[in-house]
């Protein structure tokens, strides 16, 4: 005999399960970021895999809905217990599979999609099964079937909205990814046991054992080492000590899956990465005066602003969207916040909303691997940046591309050439290996740099040079396309060679 269940209970349960499933979807993107970054590829894979899981779960749930009510509720309860196991287990499964999958599949589209499917398809599949069962019971037991059907659909949609808001604005930043999935697993387990109770299904001991399994896996998930020292609303942040001498500390900042910058406590003017070494030296070479003003898009470990402050340059403004990044730079990378005006907002918005300000140098340092802020590489953005420069000012940004592709670099150069009279491309003066991932700095302004090469510590003495005007023109004309706010396929352009 099946226990009775009111329509409002069905609506409530549908909303709760829907909310929990959307929490998992948002957390999936955050959990993948330390392994593959947070890019268009990542979110496309997450949305596609989760929707595929929901679709398969709805189909199988429809088969369960054809069973007698007690049996369908019991099987749904079992599905939610399985969902609890796979959801909590995702915390342990992801780091175990990430290395082998990424090593086997070099293409970012296939590697990100494959890893996402292996970890997050089953949690979505089991979470999708209850909806048809609950809707069938609601429709067949209600006097007004249309209203019951509408209420169930509305509950699913409202639950999805609530789950998305809770995950994005509360759970991840306050609880972290692992604890959030453990909470969702608890919700699945509780609702699963409730469905088993409603259906008066046999196998209570099995249900109890599965519940204990969920608790055990959840405990292991919480005890597992986190890839993040700080999990903010935007990034997974980590600080590593790479010092050769503990009395002379050197720290590495990792944002999501990439090393973002290195700083030495006792060497504020020395850069430890190619792109910061070029940005730092080119800023000094092209500065119209010693006390030049600068605007930095992206703070990271604040290596370049820290070097500017150590030399006593002019006013420094930094637009860093994540306050947690700034806090870590202050705590672990010896950045003094009193030396700069830090704006915790998007760099483009910061320039747009301060039309009265002008800078001698604007530096774009937000380009990392396949994770590229699209709105910072378009013609409209470069035009905005040009209007915020002093008459002799310079815009520069770092770009990463592959030696045998260079489509992203070519398109950025082509786009900047529509705005700036002079566009230069700088890189390390060394013969790259075939297919090598190369680091460039693209410079835009009204005049050429008065030297075509320089040698600076990075941290070893490294020589950097400008590509010839002929090569720059060839890049722009042969492979470049104009990037606009309407169309800027930078993720595809950054993809690995075919």
Q: Which residue's entry shows tokens 């140098």?
A: 361
- Average pLDDT on 380-400 reads 96
Q: Centre a 10 Å sphere on the Cβ of residue 435 and count the other Cβ atoms it contains.
A: 12
> Is 115 found in the same domain as 70?
yes
- Please report whether residue 90 resides in a domain: yes
Final residue before a domain boundary, out of 227, 247, 263: 227
Distance CA 57, CA 51 (A): 10
Range from 182-191, 227-236, 487-496 carrying the lowest mean pLDDT: 487-496
> Looking at per-residue confidence, does 373 or 279 come out higher?
279
Confidence of residue 495 (pLDDT cuts 50, 70, 90): low
Question: How far is residue 460 from each of residues 14, 271, 439, measured CA to CA in Å?
Answer: 60, 9, 16
> Is 201 found in the same domain as 311?
no
Final residue before a domain boundary, out of 227, 245, 264: 227
Confidence of residue 322 (pLDDT cuts 50, 70, 90): very high
> Is 299 found in the same domain as 185?
no
Distance CA 361, CA 50 (A): 44
- Please report whether residue 20 resides in a domain: yes
Confidence of residue 498 (pLDDT cuts 50, 70, 90): very low
> Is 315 found in the same domain as 202?
no
Position 236 scores a pLDDT of 86
CATH number for the domain spanning 25: value is 1.20.1250
Position 204 scores a pLDDT of 61
> Is 204 found in the same domain as 261?
no
- Please report whether residue 143 resides in a domain: yes
The answer to whether 406 and 434 have CB atoms below 8 angstroms apart is no
- Average pLDDT on 380-405 reads 94
- Average pLDDT on 252-276 reads 90
Range from 80-94, 209-223, 292-306 carrying the lowest mean pLDDT: 209-223
Taking only the tens place, the pLDDT of each residue in 49-72 is 999 999 999 999 999 999 988 889
The answer to whether 235 and 322 have CB atoms below 8 angstroms apart is yes
Distance CA 187, CA 419 (A): 54
- Please report whether residue 31 resides in a domain: yes
* Residue 194 pLDDT > 50: yes
* Residue 1 pLDDT > 50: no
Taking only the tens place, the pLDDT of each residue in 226-258 is 888 888 888 889 999 999 898 999 999 998 877
- Please report whether residue 95 resides in a domain: yes
> Is 137 found in the same domain as 255?
no
pTM (two decimals): 0.82
Final residue before a domain boundary, out of 195, 227, 259: 227
> Is 424 found in the same domain as 400?
yes
Burial of 223 (0-12, 13-18, 19+ CB in 10 A): exposed
- Average pLDDT on 190-196 reads 88
Taking only the tens place, the pLDDT of each residue in 96-152 is 999 899 889 878 788 999 999 999 999 999 999 999 999 999 888 877 788 888 999
Burial of 487 (0-12, 13-18, 19+ CB in 10 A): exposed
> Is 202 found in the same domain as 255?
no
Position 30 scores a pLDDT of 86
- Average pLDDT on 305-323 reads 94
- Please report whether residue 1 resides in a domain: no
> Is 473 found in the same domain as 368?
yes
CATH number for the domain spanning 294: value is 3.40.50.150
Q: Which residue's entry shows tokens 């599965």?
A: 210
Confidence of residue 497 (pLDDT cuts 50, 70, 90): very low
The domain in which residue 97 lies consists of: 7-227
**β-bridge pairing 437-445 and 422-428:** antiparallel
> Is 251 found in the same domain as 216?
no
- Please report whether residue 309 resides in a domain: yes
Straight-line distance from the first to the last Cα atom of the chain, in angstroms, rounded to the nearest whole number:
61
Confidence of residue 2 (pLDDT cuts 50, 70, 90): low
Position 370 scores a pLDDT of 58
The DSSP element (H or E) to which 135 belongs, if any, is helix 130-141
> Is 252 found in the same domain as 115?
no
> Is 267 found in the same domain as 373?
yes
- Please report whether residue 21 resides in a domain: yes
Looking at the structure of the chain, the number of domains it has is 2
User: Bridge-partner residues for 464, per DSSP?
Assistant: 428, 454
Taking only the tens place, the pLDDT of each residue in 408-428 is 999 999 999 999 999 999 999
Helices (H), 200-346: 204-223, 274-286, 303-311, 323-332
């Amino acid at each position: 005999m099946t226990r009775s269940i009111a329509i409002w209970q069905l609506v409530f349960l549908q909303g709760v399960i829907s909310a929990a499933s959307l929490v998992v979807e948002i957390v999936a993107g955050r959990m993948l970021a330390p392994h593959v970054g947070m890019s268009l590829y990542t979110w496309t894979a997450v949305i596609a895999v989760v929707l595929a899981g929901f679709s398969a779960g709805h189909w199988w749930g429809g088969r369960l809905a054809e069973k007698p009510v007690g049996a369908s509720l019991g099987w749904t309860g079992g599905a939610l217990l399985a969902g609890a196991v796979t959801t909590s287990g995702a915390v342990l499964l992801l780091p175990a599979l990430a290395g082998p999958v990424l090593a086997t599949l070099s293409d970012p589209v296939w590697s990100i999609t494959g890893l996402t499917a292996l970890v997050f398809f089953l949690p979505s599949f089991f979470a999708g099964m209850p909806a048809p069962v609950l809707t069938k019971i609601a429709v067949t037991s209600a006097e007004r079937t249309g209203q019951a059907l509408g209420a169930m659909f509305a509950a699913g949609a409202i639950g999805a909205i609530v789950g998305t808001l809770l995950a994005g604005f509360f759970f991840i930043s306050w609880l972290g990814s692992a604890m959030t999935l453990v909470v969702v697993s608890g919700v699945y387990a509780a609702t699963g046991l409730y469905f088993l109770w409603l259906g008066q299904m046999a196998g209570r001991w099995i249900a109890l054992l599965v519940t204990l399994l969920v608790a055990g896996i959840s405990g292991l998930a919480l005890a597992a080492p986190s890839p993040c020292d700080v999990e903010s609303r935007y990034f997974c942040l980590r600080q590593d000590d790479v010092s050769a001498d503990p009395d002379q500390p050197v720290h590495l900042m990792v944002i999501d899956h990439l090393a973002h910058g290195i700083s030495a406590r006792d060497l504020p003017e020395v850069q430890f990465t190619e792109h910061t070494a070029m940005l730092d030296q080119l800023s000094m070479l092209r500065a119209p005066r010693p006390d030049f003003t600068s605007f930095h898009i992206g703070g990271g470990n604040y290596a370049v602003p820290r070097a500017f402050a150590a030399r006593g340059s002019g006013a420094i403004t930094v637009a860093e969207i994540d306050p947690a990044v700034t806090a870590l730079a202050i705590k672990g990378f010896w950045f003094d916040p009193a030396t700069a005006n830090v704006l915790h907002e998007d760099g483009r918005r910061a320039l747009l909303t301060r039309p009265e300000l002008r800078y001698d140098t604007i530096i774009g340092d937000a380009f990392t691997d396949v994770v590229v802020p699209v709105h910072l590489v378009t013609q409209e953005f470069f035009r905005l940046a040009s209007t915020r420069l002093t008459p002799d000012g310079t815009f520069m940004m770092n770009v990463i591309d592959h030696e045998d592709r260079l489509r992203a670099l070519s398109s950025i150069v082509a786009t900047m050439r529509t705005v700036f009279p002079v566009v230069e491309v700088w890189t390390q003066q060394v013969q790259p290996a075939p297919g090598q991932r190369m680091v460039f700095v693209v410079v835009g302004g009204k005049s050429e740099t008065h030297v075509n090469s320089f040698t600076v510590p990075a941290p070893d003495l490294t020589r950097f040079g400008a590509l010839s005007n002929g090569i720059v023109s060839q890049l722009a004309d042969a492979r470049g396309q104009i990037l606009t706010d309407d169309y800027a396929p930078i993720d595809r352009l950054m993809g690995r060679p075919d």
